[in-house]
């Protein structure tokens, strides 16, 4: 079992955060501003609480200003929209993120679309989705952006590669497919209604699994030497213990791949690093400076 096959997303993300911190220092010393990120958490979802805490800590470690808003589960959509309006107008806040999922009474897309698109560091606003689709200068969703950086670091030019993205969510599958298309890959988006999913996956040089089903992709679905990016984060019980697994069956995939991201320690840490990167980009654009 070759260690080199296992992509170290944690180390890659740490290096990226060091670079971002250096650019934040330049923003402060040369241009006189501190990039600021506001993160809004509604409710008590345990995983979301951990992600929001990590976002706050890593924002501060990079030298940025962190603003955290923790609202009760019972928060109404109108109350959340009022907070978004306040943050849109706050000059110290360059990036706004509303942690997902939101409680049932709130329409997530309506909230996302209320964020100023230039402060939408999640890149989920319809304007940013449109910019990504049409080659405009927008903000790119963090998880797919992180996957793309890992792929480019590994493979260099992706042009002509056949990529299969499993999953068609607005936050990962669709933007991932768009990013790969923008790199001149031939892209297939597979989903729950795809006929012969193993057959589709077997044609791929690059597989991105973002379907939310524990260990669904098996080694015998893969072409020899494929690169596998596993976006899944599934909590399962095994042998009476809680365990975190991806959407790929790591043990059966490993012998077939040329490289694969593990879960944990693969794509997950990249998501927060790219959030910091997007905050820096958003702040620099709002200030009209190049860093
Ligand atoms: N507004 C958003 N909400 C959500 C997003 C998002 O990008 N924007 N993505 C996910 C959650 N998420 C960030 O918010 C996230 C998920 C996982 C990780 C991570 O580092 N995972 C670790 C494992 C951590 C664990 O033990 O749970 C890993 O894979 O190594 C970071 C961020 C949904 N919501």
Quote the ligand 1 centre to 29 CA distance (angstroms): 31
CA angle 119, 122, 126 (to 5 degrees): 80
Mutate to test the pocket of ligand 1, among 170, 268, 275 (most ligand atoms within 8 A of CB): 268
Parts of the chain with a pLDDT under 70:
1-3
Architecture of domain 31-119: 3-Layer(aba) Sandwich (3.40)
CATH architecture of 142-269: 3-Layer(aba) Sandwich (3.40)
Question: Atom 31, ligand 1: which residue's CA is nearest?
Answer: 268
Give the pLDDT confidence score for residue 1 in this predicted structure. 46
- pLDDT computed for residue 3 by the predictor: 61
Please list the active-site residues.
55, 99, 122
The ligand 1 atom at the shortest distance from the C-alpha of residue 244 is 26
Distance CA 278, CA 282 (A): 6
Q: Is 258 annotated as a binding residue?
A: no
Provide ipTM, 2 decimals. 0.97
Strand duo 206-209 + 227-230: pairing: parallel
Token pair in block for residue 85: 């309006």
CA distance 188 to 200: 8
Counting from 1 in the atom list of ligand 1, the atom nearest the Cα of 10 is: 30
**Boundaries of every domain in the chain:** 31-119, 142-269
Question: Which ligand 1 atom sits nearest the alpha carbon of residue 267?
Answer: 29
Q: How many CB atoms lie within 10 A of CB 200?
A: 18
Query: Is residue 29 annotated as involved in ligand binding?
Result: no
Instruction: Measure 267 CA to ligand 1 centroid, in angstroms.
Output: 9
Q: Are 31-119 and 142-269 equal in CATH topology?
A: yes
Q: Specify the long-range contacts of residues 198-201, CB closer than 8 Å, at least 24 apart.
A: 200/164, 201/164, 201/166
pLDDT at 62: 98
Torsion from C-alpha of 275, 113, 285, 59, nearest 10 degrees: -30
**pLDDT the model gives residue 4:** 73
């Amino acid at each position: 079992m070759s260690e080199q096959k296992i992509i170290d997303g944690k180390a890659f993300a740490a290096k990226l955060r060091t670079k971002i911190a250096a650019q934040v220092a330049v923003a402060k010393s040369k241009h006189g501003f501190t990039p600021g990120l506001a993160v809004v958490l509604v409710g008590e979802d345990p995983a979301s609480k951990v992600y929001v805490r990590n976002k706050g800590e890593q924002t501060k470690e990079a030298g940025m200003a962190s603003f955290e808003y923790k609202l009760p589960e019972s928060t109404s959509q109108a109350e959340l929209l009022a907070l978004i309006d306040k943050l849109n107008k706050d000059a110290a806040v360059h990036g706004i993120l509303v942690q997902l999922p939101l409680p049932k009474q709130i329409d997530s897309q309506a909230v996302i679309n209320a964020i100023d698109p230039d402060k939408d560091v999640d890149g989920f606003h319809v304007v940013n989705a449109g910019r990504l689709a049409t080659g405009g200068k927008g903000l790119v969703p963090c998880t797919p952006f992180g996957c793309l950086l890992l792929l480019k670091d590994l493979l260099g030019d992706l042009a002509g590669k056949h990529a299969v993205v499993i999953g068609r969510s607005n936050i990962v599958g669709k933007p991932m497919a768009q990013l790969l298309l923008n790199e001149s890959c031939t892209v297939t988006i597979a989903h729950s209604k795809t006929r012969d999913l193993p057959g589709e996956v077997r044609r791929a040089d690059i597989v991105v699994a973002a379907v939310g089903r524990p260990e669904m992709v098996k080694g015998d679905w893969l072409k020899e030497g494929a690169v596998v990016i596993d976006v899944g984060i599934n909590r399962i019980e095994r042998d009476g213990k809680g365990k975190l697994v991806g959407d790929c069956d790591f043990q059966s995939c490993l012998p077939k791949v040329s490289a694969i991201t593990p879960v944990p320690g693969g794509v997950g840490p990249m998501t927060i690093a790219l959030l910091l990167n997007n905050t820096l980009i958003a702040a620099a654009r709002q200030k009209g400076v190049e860093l």
